Amino acid sequence: MPALSSSLARQTFITASRRIAHQPHIHPHAFTFTTNRRAFTMSNSDNKESITSWADKSGSFKRQVSSFRDAIEPNGKFAPEKGRYHLYVSLACPWAHRALIVRQLKGLEEYLDVSTVHPHMLEGGWHFVSPENASAKPAPVSEHSNDTFPAATADKLFGVSHIRELYFKAQPDYNARFTVPIIWDTKHNTIVNNESSEIIRFLNTAFNELLPAGEKKDLDLYPEELRKEIDELNEWVYNDINNGVYKSGFATTQEAYEAAVKPLAKALDKVEERLSDGREFLVGGKLTEADVRLYTTIVRYDPVYYVHFKCNFGLIRHDYPNLHKWLQRLYWNNPAFKDTTDFAHIKEHYFYSHKHINPNRIVPYGPNVDIEPLKSS
């Protein structure tokens, strides 16, 4: 489909931003430390309402509001340019995974380089593979060698050891969690955006004028005629599934857990029913951002969320045949999904990093097959 005009693209982004303002999609993978430059652990005397508090007084998981909300757009402050922007991700993180998928779907590999953190996130937050890691203080790094996870990289722009340093470069008084994904602008030396739902929205069109003619340029993951349906689907999928697994896993009371896991079960049933007509994609008979946003949760469900987040009322591969088929098609038929899915990073991050859930940091041996082969009809 033809690229959106600059004004239309801008209006689309603004409208989308307003719609999602009440439901930030940043993951909670930074709950063990404060953002003060001088200290990265909390004492018992610290304010209970600190930014490190990931559950409220009822024991329910709280999600942070994203801080950087600009967009790459033609004729704007952050105009599309080849090589100007850099994407920071974790291969374990479902929110960052969204950005990697869209980057590959749109053919932006030559326009947007990537730095990938090590999957183990400890007291200092996300860290890179670099010589400095061996002596990084006060944040210890993984006991495993860097070679254990070859997909992890150094910070390709500055050579910093931790994601937190990028936040302080962009905003010296930054006082929130250090999350990924991040889009960094090398011209203004700042973070453009750290909200995954907005990043995938503007990556869908921002570079179209620079892309060569072809399928990837024409791909529109948010077509105008399907936007209402996509928005409606995104809302409940985010609340009850994308965020629902976290609300279940990070709950600290039985009541909070049940208040999260029951809507999650109903939402998965709802998706299963939606796919019961044999459709290949969630909306409109074509690949859209709705598929991208759901995929990054579902592909982690059986290997991690079923056990680690206590979402054990059903396995995708055994109890949701339609959803399982949808997952298999995306993974096996589209390289943008398979190439960006790293089960080693995924499993190691959750089971090793969430010590409050898994104190001994034992990483389960299974499943024997991370995602089952797609059988011919």
Question: Length of the chain in residues, anyone?
Answer: 377
pLDDT above 70 for 297: yes
pLDDT band of residue 114 (cuts 50, 70, 90) is very high
Position 18 scores a pLDDT of 37
Quick one: 178 exposed, middle or buried, by C-beta within 10 A (0-12, 13-18, 19+)?
buried
Position 40 scores a pLDDT of 34
The more confident residue out of 35 and 120 is: 120
Q: The tokens of 43 are what?
A: 């004492």
- Lowest-pLDDT choice from 175-179, 202-206, 292-296, 321-325: 175-179
State how far the Cα of 150 lies from the Cα of 63, in Å rounded to an integer.
30
**Cβ atoms of residues 181 and 199 within 8 Å:** yes
The pTM of the full predicted model, rounded to 2 decimals, is 0.84
Highest mean pLDDT among 64-78, 124-138, 340-354: 340-354
Average pLDDT score over the chain? 86
pLDDT above 80 for 143: no
Binding residues for glutathione are 126, 177-180, 195-196
pLDDT above 50 for 137: no
**Cβ atoms of residues 196 and 88 within 8 Å:** no
The CA radius of gyration of the chain, in Å to the nearest whole number, is: 20
Task: Tell me what the mean pLDDT of segment 111-140 comes to.
Answer: 77
Percent of the chain with pLDDT over 70: 77
**Block residue for tokens 């600009």:** 70
pLDDT in tens, 239-277: 999 999 999 999 999 999 999 999 999 999 999 999 999
Position 262 scores a pLDDT of 99
Position 21 scores a pLDDT of 36
Query: What is the sign of the dihedral through the CA atoms of 37, 32, 346 and 57?
Result: negative
pLDDT above 60 for 96: yes
E strand or H helix at 269? helix 254-274
- Please state which CATH class domain 224-353 belongs to: mainly alpha
pLDDT above 60 for 354: yes
Task: Tell me what the mean pLDDT of segment 97-119 comes to.
Answer: 98
pLDDT band of residue 376 (cuts 50, 70, 90) is confident
State how far the Cα of 322 lies from the Cα of 181, in Å rounded to an integer.
30
- Lowest-pLDDT choice from 30-44, 81-95, 128-142, 361-375: 30-44
pLDDT band of residue 123 (cuts 50, 70, 90) is confident
Position 195 scores a pLDDT of 97
Position 131 scores a pLDDT of 52
pLDDT above 50 for 145: yes
The more confident residue out of 52 and 299 is: 299
pLDDT above 60 for 2: no
State how far the Cα of 328 lies from the Cα of 55, in Å rounded to an integer.
34
Q: Which residues form the catalytic set?
A: 93, 246
State how far the Cα of 238 lies from the Cα of 95, in Å rounded to an integer.
11
**Cβ atoms of residues 293 and 237 within 8 Å:** yes
DSSP string, 315-371: -HHHH-HHHHHHHHHHHHH-HHHHTT--HHHHHHHHHHH-TTTSTT-PPP---SSSS
Quick one: 243 exposed, middle or buried, by C-beta within 10 A (0-12, 13-18, 19+)?
buried
Which residues touch 187 (CB under 8 Å, ≥6 apart)?
A: 81, 84
pLDDT in tens, 317-332: 999 999 999 999 999 9
Binding residues are 126, 177-180, 195-196
Task: Tell me what the mean pLDDT of segment 38-42 comes to.
Answer: 32
The more confident residue out of 336 and 2 is: 336
**Which residues are paired to 55 by β-bridges?**
61
DSSP string, 282-320: SBTTB--HHHHHHHHHHHHIIIIIHHHT--TT--HHHH-
DSSP three-state, residue 76: coil
State how far the Cα of 126 lies from the Cα of 120, in Å rounded to an integer.
7
pLDDT above 80 for 360: yes
Task: Tell me what the mean pLDDT of segment 55-61 comes to.
Answer: 65
pLDDT above 50 for 232: yes
